[in-house]
Structures are given as C-alpha cells and as structure tokens.
Amino acid sequence: MAADADGGPHPDGTANGADAGSVYPPPTNPMVTALLTDMYQITMAYAYWKAGKHEEPSVFDLLFRKSPFGGEYTVFAGLEECIRYAANFRFTPADLAYLRTVLPSTTEPGFFDYLAALDARAVRIEAIAEGSVVFPRVPLMRVEGPLLVCQLLETVFLTLVNFASLVATNAARHRAVAGPDKTLLEFGLRRAQGPDGGISASRYAFLGGFDATSNVEAGRLFGIPVRGTHAHAFVSSFLSLADLPERSLPRADGTRCDDFVSLVQGKLRQLKETPAVAGWFGETNESELAAFISYAQAFPRAFLALVDTYDVIRSGLPNFVAVALGLAECGYRALGVRLDSGDLAYQSKEARKLFRGVEAAFHVPGFGSIGVTASNDINESTLEALNKQGHEIDTFGIGTHLVTCYAQPALGCVYKLVEVRGQPRIKLSADIDKVTIPGKKRPFRLYGKEGVALVDLLVGDDEPPPRAGERILCRHPFLESKRAYVAPQRVEPLYHLYWAGDKTGKGVQPLPALAALKEQCKQELAAMRSDHLRALNPTPYKVSVTARLYNFIHDLWLNEAPVGELA
Amino acid sequence: MAADADGGPHPDGTANGADAGSVYPPPTNPMVTALLTDMYQITMAYAYWKAGKHEEPSVFDLLFRKSPFGGEYTVFAGLEECIRYAANFRFTPADLAYLRTVLPSTTEPGFFDYLAALDARAVRIEAIAEGSVVFPRVPLMRVEGPLLVCQLLETVFLTLVNFASLVATNAARHRAVAGPDKTLLEFGLRRAQGPDGGISASRYAFLGGFDATSNVEAGRLFGIPVRGTHAHAFVSSFLSLADLPERSLPRADGTRCDDFVSLVQGKLRQLKETPAVAGWFGETNESELAAFISYAQAFPRAFLALVDTYDVIRSGLPNFVAVALGLAECGYRALGVRLDSGDLAYQSKEARKLFRGVEAAFHVPGFGSIGVTASNDINESTLEALNKQGHEIDTFGIGTHLVTCYAQPALGCVYKLVEVRGQPRIKLSADIDKVTIPGKKRPFRLYGKEGVALVDLLVGDDEPPPRAGERILCRHPFLESKRAYVAPQRVEPLYHLYWAGDKTGKGVQPLPALAALKEQCKQELAAMRSDHLRALNPTPYKVSVTARLYNFIHDLWLNEAPVGELA
C-alpha cells in the first residue's frame, strides 16, 4: 500500500484527489501537474509525435555524477512523489488549452488529441529504495516505456528527486556530526526557498535523521513531531509584571497555587542570596520575568524559555531558574532554555553550572540536567566546532543552513536516454564524468564481512546477476587499469519495481511510510564503512561495472566518438 | 484591482477559491495555509490569549539587515502573495482539529473557538511597492493590529518575501552583468528547491529582469513567455536518416518541398565544398542530422538546435547550417543554435564566423546574425568572464545559479515587534546590526538632481514628513558621528497602504500585474547611482533616521540595556 492510501481526501484539503481504487494520491503539492515541466519537453513531444517516434520503446536513467557537500555519499529521496506523479499523470483540458497558446498555430490538432488521452500506464519504473545511501553514476531510477511519455516525466522527476535527496543528505550529515544522542530540530521554514521548499525540507530532513520540525503544516502532512515555544517578540510584548492578569497556577496534583507570581519572585530573591549562584546577576529584566511566568502559566508541563532577549547570563538564565523552581514547587519539571545568540558553548556551560548549583542548593532532583537548546545559524561546521570546544547543549534547532542546503544548494541529477528501440545510446563528453553508461543495466550492492558494503556493481540486463561467494571482477566504468576481484558475502539487488501501470499497486513494491524511510536511511548508513561517510577527506565508495558491460561501453564509445585529426 | 482578480477559479485548478466579492485570490500555492507556520507562533498565540494580550495593539516591522550576494541593494518581491495570504487568512476546522492534537490536552477550548473566528480584518499593512529597490534596515512592510493575529502572520510573510526578493535580486544582478540587449531565459525548474522553488524562481526572475522561462506552469500562472526547443535525448533518440518517416516540408508560401531531406543533404555537401567554410568538418553525425531535420519539420518557423551532442564544431554546427539553409530555401529563417558545454566564448565566435561565411557564400541575407544561445552552468561570474573574453552569444539560458541563488541561497528577513500598546519596543544585541529601530516610523526616499536617489530616511510617525527643498539632517541610526544635511529635489514616501481589512480592495493600493512590477524594478534600478549597483566593491547606499528618531532610539536603548559591571 502506498503511504496516505487510506482513501481519504488529499491531506492538504484540496479537491485534487486521486482516482477511485488508486492507492496513489496525487503529488503532495497540487502545483505539481503535467504542465510543471520545461517547454522543451512539450516541443520535443510534438517533434517525436510528428516523426512517429512517440511510442518507440525507450529507457531513461536518472542519476547524479557527484555527491553533494564535498562528501562521498547521498541519501536518495523523492521517489514516492515521483511514483504518485506518474500514477496521476494526465493533461487536463485546461492544460491543453494553455499549450495551444504557446505552440505554433501550425501544430496539428491530432497532437493535442494524443496528449488528451495520454497517461503513464505504459511506463515501468524500477528504482533504488527511497532512504537508501547511493553513489554517483548508479542510476537511482530506470524509467522504461514509450519515448514521448518517458520524456515528459523528466523535469518533474528531477525537481522532485534533486532537492529531496539534497536535504536528506544534508540532514544525515548534520546528524553524523551532532551524534546519535542529540535532539535535532528543523527550524527552517521562514528562510526556505518558498513555501514548499520549507515543507519538503521538513519532510526530508526528518527522513535524513532529524527528530522534529517547527513547521506545523509539515507535521500535519507527514506526521512529523512538531516543536516550538516562543520568540523574542513574546518576551518584548510584556512591559512589566503588572501585565499578568492572572497570578495563580494549578498545581500538578490538582490543587491551586494562588500566587505563582509571588512564588517566583521569592525564588528569584532566594537565588540571589544563594552562595552557589551568587554573583551571577543583579536586577533581572522584569518584563522578561513577566513573559516567562506567563508562558509557564500557559504551558506548565512544557516550559522552555528563550533566554537571550536582554542578557543570557545576567537576566535570562536567573529569570528562567526562578520560574523553573516555582514550577518545581507546583509539581512540574521545566523543559529548559533556548540560546539564540552569542557564544553557545560558553553559555551552555554556564547554564549547566547554574542548573547543577541550583540542584544542589535547592534540592530539586534532576534540575542539573534540564535541557539546553541552541539555535543560532547552526551548520555542520558550527556543530564540529562546538564538539571540539565542549558544550552542554542537548538539542539543536537548525534552520537556514539545513533547509536551503547553504553549503551547496543544488544537486545535479540528470535524466539520460540510454536505449531506444533496443539500441543502446551513449552521451559522449570531453569530461569523462559526464559520459553516460549506455543500455539497460541494474545495480547490485556487494557486502563483505560484518555486513559492510564493499562496492556497487552495474550489471547488464542480459547478464546473470552476481552471486554471493562468487569471485567477481569489478571494473571502473571508464578507467582501464582500475579493477578488482570481489567475493561478496551477500549480494543485494538495488532495484525494485515501483510502477508498472497498475494504480491498485498490485505486483509492485509498496511505498513505505516516512518513518520507515527514516529507518531505512539509518540502517543503510550503519552498513557503510565510516571512512566513506566522514566529513573530512572521505574515501570514495567504489562503483563498478562487470567486465562484459565494460567492453560493451567501450565498443560503443569508440564507435560513436569522432576521430580527431591533428593538423 | 488585485492581479488575477477576474473572479475565475484559482489558476491552479483547485477548489481553494477566494470569497465572493473579494479581489484577493488565495496565495498561488494552495499549501500556503494558516498552518504553514512555526509551531511557536501557535504556542505564543495560546500564551497571549491566556494572558489576555491577544488583542493588544501591536506593530511589527519586516526588514533585512544585509543585502545578498555581497551587493548593496535588494529587489523587494513577494508582497502580493503576503496580501493574498492576509486577505484569506483563516483556520479551517481541519486545521483546528490538527492543532488540538499538538497542543497540550490542558489547552482551554475557548482558544480554539477564538482561532475559529479569527481572520486578518483587523490588520493594517503598509509596505514599499513590490519591485522596488530596497536597503538594509528600512522595513519593507509594517504590520499593525491585534498582537496575536499579527504574530501569526510572521512565518509565512518571511517565507514569501525572503525567497522572492532573493531571486528577484539575483535576476537583476544577472541582467546588470549581461547588459540590456541580451535575452535572458530562466531554465532552472529541474534544479530548483522543490516544485514551487521552481515556480517562484520563474516568476521573480522575470520581475528582476529576465525575458522568459522554460517553466510551462509558471508561463500559465503568471503570463511569462515560455521558451524551449530540445534536449540531448531528442538528438540521441534518432539512429539515422532512415528514422525520418516523412521527407517533405511545406514551404512558407504554401507550396511543398517534396524532399526536404535530400535538399538538406545537398546543402551539407555544398557546405563541404565551399572555400569560406572548408576544413571545418569531415563526416557529420548522421543521427544528429536526422534529429535536426525532424525538429525543423515540426517547427519550421522556430528551428533552434542543440549542437553539442556529438561535437559542436565538427558535427553540430555544420548539420545545423545545412538544415538552416534548407529552411531558408523553403522561405523560413532558422532561429539559431544552443551551446551547452565546453568553451562558450570560443564556440560562439566560431559559430558566428561560420554563419557570416555562409551568408557571404550562399547569399542568404541575415544568416550571419542567426542567434546563438548558451546554457551551461552560467552565473554572474561566467557572464563577467565572457564579457571580458568577447563572445557572440545573444541569449543566455540560466538555471541552477539563478533559481537556487547558489551564491547565497537565503535572505535573512526578520519580523520584529517595534511597538505594543503604544509603547516602543527595542530588540537589543551585542551586534549593532541586529539592534532594531523601535516605534512606528515610515521611510522616505530623498532624490537629488537628475532624479538620482540620495538617501532613505526613516521618520517617526509623530514627525512631519520631509519636504523637497528643505535642508534635512540625516543621521546614521546608531553611529553618532555619521550624519549629513540633505536638501532633496524630490521626496517620495515609500509606504503605501495595501491592506486595511477590506476584501473589496477599496481605499488601498492595487496589486499591479507582474509586467508592471518588472517595469517598476527596471525604473527603480535606473534611478540608482551605478556605484551602488556594481558587483565589485559597491558603495553602500545611506539609510538614515531623523535627528528626533535618533534621540528617541538612543534614549530607549540606554534605558533598556543593562549596565555592565567590571569585576
């Protein structure tokens, strides 16, 4: 069963629903239609149709040539959306009316009739599982079927895979640096590249290893946990304690603390007189204290305060502690503080010192381990630097750098014709990295001892699949001298069939829920050798072809490449 | 009248329509709902409501602190979408049902009732005109109204303005380097950050100075001209001339050329024997020739060929010329070639040389000025380098670098509370750039001789507006010694009222069509001194405050900032 296949309306509430009986809802973003494409797909479609080539059997590979962020791996994401797109691919009458206005008036009417009846039922899509760790040159998806319709899927498939995979990879890299025990929150919506840049980032950051998002709509659409407390505006909207209309707080045991405000003020006075924390502060900001009390009254079980509106050390932290001690006396445990500017390592250590001092002095068990969240322009390098300095942060809120993939804002997936009418096609280039591997082939992952991935091997469709225990010659696709024998302990075929034209989803791989994709990603990363994954000078993971495929490529290459003439 | 206000259904075909009588359709992307926000907006909303602060009059400024791409200016975009969002802002019952699941079970039911009835009719939005050239610290929008609802608009407003302004600025910068006479095409959909990253990029790149897009959906939604021809896959889908089912071509005069294929083959032979172009090539690739002929048959009036599938100089260009000569003989004028790899300057010059040689040798007037389009990973620096080397390119297709804003993929707009209950609020920071200017104020642009913009001046709402001819003291908002007298020839108030709660649009500034915004941008750029706009070491444009506002800021600052103690 496809995700979201419970037959309900499309989760975004639009009328853009799927066919009855289909397990494939339309793409999440209703703007992803047959017209969301490059104009040259339409002009090519007409030229194919005019030349009678539109139904020619064809095979396209979708692949990338270099992993992002200077790394050696990529997390594949976006597949579910591609399959939903294929399953719902149609030109509406309104689409065709628009196309009539942008194609020449000489365009034959039969072409529009053809498009009106077109869908992707004749297309077959095999792909690597979403959430997998993948490598350059190994096609992530193989799209087979009539030339014209396969061509028309290109742009959206690239748009859906490029950004999804980029964000998932970025998230996995942030997770790797932060370590498995930290809580990672995606906070990027406001800085994202448009509304669904934000929504997609929330979704695929979760897939790649984040724990939650601030994005409420992404929470609703994908079931991602949502998190959030308050901003500086909340703090500065209070002028003084006189702004608090209510002084009481219901205790956790159901009784009532009639004057929570005075309780907190008392705690603040006590704090000042406590040797363990003496000298920290003089007068704290009263409007900040009012804001914290008010927030605690609204969320006594989820009190997390942003402490840098005025001065973290002299005002924010002591105000927080006073409210947290008041809450403790009423039977609640404060969640913690959020730091959003300045020296996060130093501030977090000071906060921890204070919390521990308070635990000892006030005898509040667990107070020393109250949470510290940090959220100011954090990226991979900041995390690395914080790790080196030492810090006491439990939770990171990461926005801009994560969601816009600041370090490299685009992944360069391409979609290449590798076979037409049974004939292999090769795209030549002066740059070896841009030469495509022609013909129908499928990838296998070969594992060694202890379940570690050794190499990905591309095997021609006309060859027998590799088998565990066999000694297999793995060749670099282009460089003659690079080759090695491998005797894998286990061989895993990387392709699964995801679309064969049947909207009931029969006979194809189901599309797993987001949580399962997240788990897939985690397990795949765990099966990689750590030197392939490290941020600094990672070892390239080997992608090879069989000896037979190697010869096939090179025969074709020599055949197609023009012979130069030195003059 | 707002754009798209013709009362028809929402152009994306969803049921997400506007109210009857409203001139404000919903945001373009149906995913832009009340839930597209940060969770902390919702938790703050509850805390405001609990504290009885939800209706307190408040003023928020939306501003950025630094122009992107190392430049000194920014093009403001995204306003129309913000106003459409405000005009249609509502929580649906489904939204509220979801919020009930993510807020604590102790949340009072009255809060959800309040949200159910909430809209933005009590909000008032003044803003700088969309398409304007804007500068750091000058608030682009001023949002006034009840605290809770103004707070709830924050995240979407930032999401809508940040990326739109970033792309528009990026486009304007590319236009500045390319010069006014080149044709600039946006080709970025496949590399964009998700589907509406692509759609937004197409829209705002057009606003910022591009001429057309490859993105068909953006063409339909916004009336942007769409452009496109064919890809490498089209060329490699042909195996030989035997692939052409049709040899004829209707001539421009209505008669028929029965064997266009032979005509082109003849031209190719003639070319080889022509002294002016002799030595260029031996055998050209036959499958490429077949593809070009086929494309010309489909688009005889719009023949533009991608010439780098095999070898630009030895195959692509001569094949193109043969087909173009054939077309000329049939009464058509070929549009040109597209170069997509290699040394674009060199190839374009070779192409021009060939076209001119052919014009002379074959007596085809205008052949020498046939178009050359280039489209391989182009950005500001590439354009700059091409200008220096000299080239013969007429049209640039720009994708990745434009649409993902590769050089700086995020703009950092913020949304700051500057007044509540009539009291000015200031956000302090150790970093002067992050200190906000408190209170209600409005910006004016002061122009000197010849209509050149001299300075932007922020004036307190309680002060008289500056007047042309007056000698006005303009002070740096934070640095005491920076100040200057200005006697402007002309004073332009930058704010206009765009939303005052009335969906019929009465009494407020209309939202201009995209073409008008594009023109606004062009004119504003023309009114700037060129040293503010240049790419290398641009002169900062001055943003000032009045003497009175200066004193007001500094009194408040001293009042709020804690006094340090040296120990």
Q: Considering only CA atoms, which of A161, A64, A141, A188 is closest in space to residue B195?
A: A161
- A417: chain B residues, CB-CB within 8 Å: 232-233, 236-237
For the record, the structure tokens of A501 come out as 């034209």
List of chain B residues whose C-beta atoms are within 8 Å of the C-beta of residue A32: 195
Q: Tell me the shortest Cα–Cα distance from B61 to chain A, in angstroms.
A: 11
pLDDT at B277: 76
Indicate yes or no: CB of B243 within 8 angstroms of CB of A51: yes
Task: List the single best residue of A237, A289, A346 to mutate versus B (max B Cβ within 10 A).
Answer: A237
What the block records as the tokens of A335 is 């969640």
The bridge status of strand A542-545 relative to strand B472-475 is unpaired
Bridge partners of residue B423, in order along the sequence: B420
Query: Does residue A2 register a pLDDT over 60?
Result: no
Nearest to B294 among A47, A406, A409 (CB): A47
Q: Per DSSP, what are the bridge partners of residue A226? A: A213
Would you say the C-alpha torsion A276, A281, A283, A289 has a positive or negative sign? Answer: negative
Q: In the prediction, which pLDDT does B19 show?
A: 72
Tell me which of A14, A16, A33, A40 to substitute to probe the interface with B (most B C-beta atoms closer than 10 Å). Answer: A40
The token duo for A525 is: 């990363």
Report CB contact under 8 Å: A155, B189.
Answer: yes
Distance of CA B358 to the CA centre of its chain: 40
Shortest alpha-carbon distance between residue A51 and chain B (Å): 6
Q: Looking at residue A383, what is its pLDDT?
A: 97
Q: Are strands B183-186 and B395-398 parallel, antiparallel or unpaired?
A: parallel
Tokens of A562: 């023009």
Residue whose entry in the numeric block shows the structure tokens 């610290």: B137
Q: A45-75 burial, b for 16+ CB within 10 Å, e for fewer? A: bbbbbbbebbebebbbbbbbeebbbebbbbb
In this complex, do A236 and B420 lie within 8 Å of one another by their Cβ atoms? yes
Residue B158: which of A52, A190, A302 has the nearest Cβ?
A: A190
How far, in Å, CA of B191 to CA of B404, rounded?
Answer: 7
What distance lies between CA B562 and its chain's CA centroid?
42
Residues of A in contact with B318 (CB under 8 A): none
Distance to chain B for A227, nearest Cα, Å: 6
In eight-state DSSP terms, residue B149 is H
Instruction: Give the mean pLDDT of A93-116.
Output: 97
Please give the backbone phi and psi of residue B306, each rounded to the nearest 5 degrees, phi first: -80, 115
- Assign A6 a pLDDT band (cuts: 50, 70, 90): very low
Helix (H, G, I), strand (E, B) or coil at B14: coil
Residue A4: the pLDDT is 41
Q: Are A293 and A308 within 8 A, CB to CB?
A: no
* Contact check, Cβ <8 Å, A13/B92: yes
User: Across the A/B interface, how many CB contacts are shorter than 8 Å?
Assistant: 406
Q: Using CA of residue A213, residue A214, residue A218, residue A223, what is the dihedral sign?
A: positive
CA–CA dist B157, A198 (Å, integer): 13
If pLDDT is split at 50, 70 and 90, which confidence band does A280 have?
confident
Beta strands A183-186 and A395-398 are parallel
Choose the closest CB to B429 out of A159, A237, A341: A341
* Å between B192 CA and nearest CA of chain A: 6
Band the pLDDT of A62: cuts 50, 70, 90: very high
Using the beta-carbon criterion (under 8 Å), do B216 and A102 form an inter-chain contact? yes
pLDDT of residue B566: 62
Nearest alpha-carbon partner for B36 in B80, B85, B78, B84: B85
User: A244 and B51: CB-CB below 8 Å?
Assistant: yes
CB atoms within 10 A of CB A526: 12
Cβ distance B372 to B395 under 8 Å? yes
pLDDT at A15 over 60: no
**How far is residue B287's CA from residue B240's CA, in Å, rounded to a whole number?**
4
Q: How confident is residue A275, by pLDDT bands cut at 50, 70 and 90? A: confident
Half-sphere exposure of A478 (CA within 13 A, CB side): 14
Q: What are phi and psi of A544, to 5 degrees?
A: -125, 170
Contact B310, B285 (CB under 8 A): yes
If phi > 0 it is left, if psi is from -120 to 50 it is alpha, else beta; for residue B482 that is: beta
Angstrom distance (rounded) from CA A336 to CA A229 = 11
Nearest-neighbour CA in chain A from B519: distance (Å)? 23
Q: DSSP H helical segments within A15-132, as ranges? A: 39-50, 79-87, 93-102, 109-117
What does the alpha-carbon distance between residue B453 and residue B334 come to, in Å, rounded to a whole number?
A: 44
Q: Which of A193, A230, A413 sits opposite B40 (nearest CB)?
A: A230
Q: Please, are residues A485 and A474 in contact by the beta-carbon 8 Å criterion?
A: yes
Nearest to B190 among A104, A159, A244 (CB): A159
Q: Do B417 and A232 touch (CB under 8 A)?
A: yes
Cα distances from A231 to residues A146, B43, B191, B262, B417, in angstroms, run 54, 10, 33, 73, 10
Please answer yes or no on whether B217 and A35 come within 8 Å at the CB atom: yes
Domains of chain B plus CATH, in order, are 39-171+408-560 (3.20.140.10), 229-393 (3.20.20)
Residue B21 pLDDT = 87
Cβ contact A195–B417 (<8 Å): no
Read off the pLDDT of residues A487-506 as tens digits, 9 standing for 90 and up.
Answer: 999 999 999 999 999 999 99
> Min CA distance, B400 vs chain A (Å)?
7
Instruction: Give me the pLDDT at residue B428, please.
Output: 74
Specify whether the CB–CB gap between B151 and B184 falls below 8 A. Answer: no
**DSSP letter string, B335-400:** -EEEE-SS-HHHHHHHHHHHHHHHHHHHT-TTGGG-EEEE-SS--HHHHHHHHHH-----EEEE-H
Predicted confidence at residue B13, as pLDDT, reads 36
CB-based contact B420:B57 (threshold 8 Å)? yes
Q: Rounded mean pLDDT of chain A?
A: 93
pLDDT at A278 over 80: no
Nearest to B12 among A31, A37, A217 (CB): A31
Q: Do B233 and A44 touch (CB under 8 A)?
A: yes
Q: Quick one: which of B485, B484, B486, B507 has its CA closest to B496?
A: B507
**What per-residue confidence (pLDDT) applies to A430?**
65
pLDDT, tens digit, 9 for 90 and up, residues A299-320: 999 999 999 998 999 999 999 9
How close, in Å, is residue B162 to chain A by CA atoms? 6
Distance (Å, rounded) from C-alpha A38 to C-alpha B397?
Answer: 12
Q: Which residues contact B115 (CB under 8 A, 6 or more apart)?
A: B45, B91, B96, B99
Evaluate if residue A344 carries a pLDDT over 90. yes
Query: Cβ contacts of residue A254 below 8 Å, gap of 6+?
Result: none
Would the pLDDT of A55 be above 80? Answer: yes
d(CA A275, nearest CA chain B) in Å:
17
Sign, CA dihedral A114-A120-A122-A126, equals: positive
- Rg of the Cα atoms in chain B: 29
Q: Which candidate, A349, A350, A358, places its Cα nearest to that of A276?
A: A358
Closest CA in chain B for residue A64: B191
Which of A27, A216, A430 lies at the smallest CB-CB distance from B37?
A: A216
A311 vs B562: CB contact, 8 Å cut-off? yes
According to DSSP, the β-strands at A133-134 and A74-75 are antiparallel
What pLDDT, on a 0 to 100 scale, did the predictor assign at position A11? Answer: 39
Which residue in chain A has the smallest CA separation from B157? A190
Tokens representing A43? Answer: 């002009």
Question: Which amino acid type is present at position B153?
Answer: L
Which residues of chain B make contact with A187, given a CB cutoff of 8 A? 38
Does A37 sit within 8 Å of B189, measured CB to CB? yes
Mutation target vs A (from B29, B31, B90; most A CBs, 10 A cutoff): B31
What local confidence, expressed as pLDDT, does residue B9 receive?
Answer: 35
Residue-wise pLDDT for A201-211, tens only, equals 999 999 999 99
Q: Do A417 and B341 touch (CB under 8 A)?
A: no
B33 → closest Cβ in A42, A217, A426: A217
Inter-residue contact A212 to A291 (CB < 8 Å)? no
- Per-residue pLDDT 10s for chain B (567 aa) are 344 433 333 333 334 455 778 999 999 999 999 999 999 999 999 999 999 999 999 999 999 999 999 999 999 999 999 999 999 999 999 999 999 999 999 999 999 999 999 999 999 999 999 999 999 999 999 999 999 999 999 999 999 999 999 999 999 999 999 999 999 999 999 999 999 899 999 999 999 999 999 999 999 999 999 999 999 999 999 999 999 999 999 999 999 999 999 999 999 999 999 877 767 777 899 999 999 999 999 999 999 999 999 899 999 999 999 999 999 999 999 999 999 999 999 999 999 999 999 999 999 999 999 999 999 899 999 999 999 999 999 999 999 999 999 999 999 999 999 999 999 998 776 677 778 899 999 999 999 998 999 999 999 999 999 999 999 999 999 999 999 999 999 999 999 999 999 999 999 999 999 999 999 999 999 999 999 999 999 999 999 999 999 999 989 888 776 666 565
- Give me the DSSP letters along B426-487: ----SSGGG----S-EEEEEEE-GGG-EEEEEEEETTSPPP-TTS-EEEE-SS-TT-EEEE-
